[in-house]
Amino acid sequence: MELTNKVALVTGGGTGIGRATSLELARLGAVIAVNYSRSEQEALETVQQIIDQGGQAIAVQADVSRDVEVRAMVEQIAATFGRVDVLINNASITKHIPLENLDAATEEVWDQLLDVNVKGMFFCARAVAPYMKQSKQGAIVNLGSIAGNTGSGSSLPYAVSKAAVHGLTKSLARALSPEIRVNAVAPGAVATRWWTGREAQMLRLAPNLLLQQIATAEDIARFICSVVVQEALTGQIITVDSGQTL
């Protein structure tokens, strides 16, 4: 897929991997809709960075766990730019809970993580699919995690939610073919705001980094963009973890 003038929605696009991906897609010529739920200032800063670099972008608010807000957001993007070609399902949340502390994995925690991390990705994919099918070409990249493969991570509900994202990716790839490609990128440890102040814990969870470096948001963003443009790829869960799980 050639990205020049394509319209890309990046959920959670104002911070971390989302911001890095928004900037990289814009650098490659895409028009960016930077979604945010509460981080309005960060989203507006991302938009301004894109504009300052000669790109085109808007900020759009929606809680991805609420279907009605997702549908309104996508309608706004389509009304503004006339199309939606790319979806980066990046918006995710976590809770830092030791795996063995089952009591701390409350019903509220489960509902929060599954609502955003899984249902939110489905809602966004469902909302953009008609526009992509209309243009007979679209690409969706879901942000998974090696936690979804290993069962270990910031919490048990988080790991399970990311395993569900991997399953969702495969099911959507079947449901939306042949017009829309759906893949997932599963990072290992990434230096983002979620781990600020918890660097020692992150290193304990990632002791086997063959490349001896924690990935940056920019590392993951560049790979996400390479998945977007690869037209012979769908239904794949691709690990990017500096050799952590080898």
192-236: per-residue pLDDT in tens? 765 566 556 656 655 677 887 788 999 999 999 999 999 999 999
Write out the two tokens for 13. 């696009």
Q: Which of 234, 235, 160, 217 is nearest to 13 (CA)?
A: 217
Catalytic-role residue among 122, 158, 195, 223? 158
Q: What is the pLDDT of residue 190?
A: 86
Q: What is the pLDDT of residue 191?
A: 77
What pLDDT is recorded for position 97? 97
Does residue 162 sit in helix, strand or coil?
Answer: helix
Whole-number pLDDT of residue 23: 98
* Residue ranges, the chain, pLDDT below 50: none
Alpha helices in the chain (DSSP H): 16-27, 40-52, 67-81, 107-114, 120-135, 147-150, 156-176, 199-205, 217-229
Q: What pLDDT, on the 0 to 100 scale, is given for residue 214?
A: 81
User: Sheet holding 237-240: strands in order across?
Assistant: 57-61, 31-36, 7-10, 86-89, 138-143, 180-187, 237-240
* pLDDT score for 210: 85
Give dist(CA 139, CA 226) in Å, integer: 11
Active site residue 131: no
Tell me what pLDDT residue 82 has.
97
Domains, in order of start, for the chain: 7-240 (3.40.50.720)
Per-residue tokens: 39 = 């981080």
The owner of tokens 């939610």 is 161
- pLDDT at site 212: 78
Strand partners for 184: 142, 237
